[in-house]
Amino acid sequence: MPDPCHETPPLLLRRGVDQFNRGEYFDQHETLEDLWRDEPRPIRTLYQGILQIGVALHHVQRQNHHGAVYMLTRGANYLRPFAPACQGIDVDDLLAHAARLLEAVEHLGPARLSEFDGSLAPRVRWIDDRQP
């Protein structure tokens, strides 16, 4: 059976990544959730991992510290099996940024999450730095 990581990224993945990178975290959740739900193969956890990193950023925007920490941790756990890259996504880069984001969120704690530096929000990068 061919490795799904070598497949062309599905349209919904490309759309969800675009939404993620524009900071449209609620919309990326909806898009990637549709993709995740319809995919029966284990590759679905790649989509779920990206989705959850985006949901974590949504929680940061809403100053939900617990939700942000939980989703960053869980999302990274879903992404790790797909490192270094899968379906054109630079998974290693996203994991590194998610770790820095988690460190920043934990450092701020619930009381100071409103001070979060939005420039720390990761972007999902394509391995050749352009969308396929």
Share of the chain above pLDDT 90, in %: 91
**DSSP designation for 120:** G
Using the predicted structure, report yes or no on whether residue 130 has a pLDDT greater than 90.
no
Spatial distance between the Cα atoms of 122 and 24, rounded to a whole number of angstroms: 13
Handedness of CA 90, 88, 105, 22 (dihedral sign): positive
Q: Would you list the domain boundaries of the chain?
A: 4-120
Average pLDDT, the chain: 94
Question: What CATH code would you report for 4-120?
Answer: 1.10.3450.10
Looking at residue 128, its pLDDT comes to 75
Instruction: Report the alpha-carbon distance of residue 71 to residue 88 in Å, rounded.
Output: 23
9-56: pLDDT as tens digits: 999 999 999 999 999 999 999 999 999 999 999 999 999 999 999 999
Measured at the CA of 124, the angle between CA 14 and CA 116, to 5 degrees, comes to 135
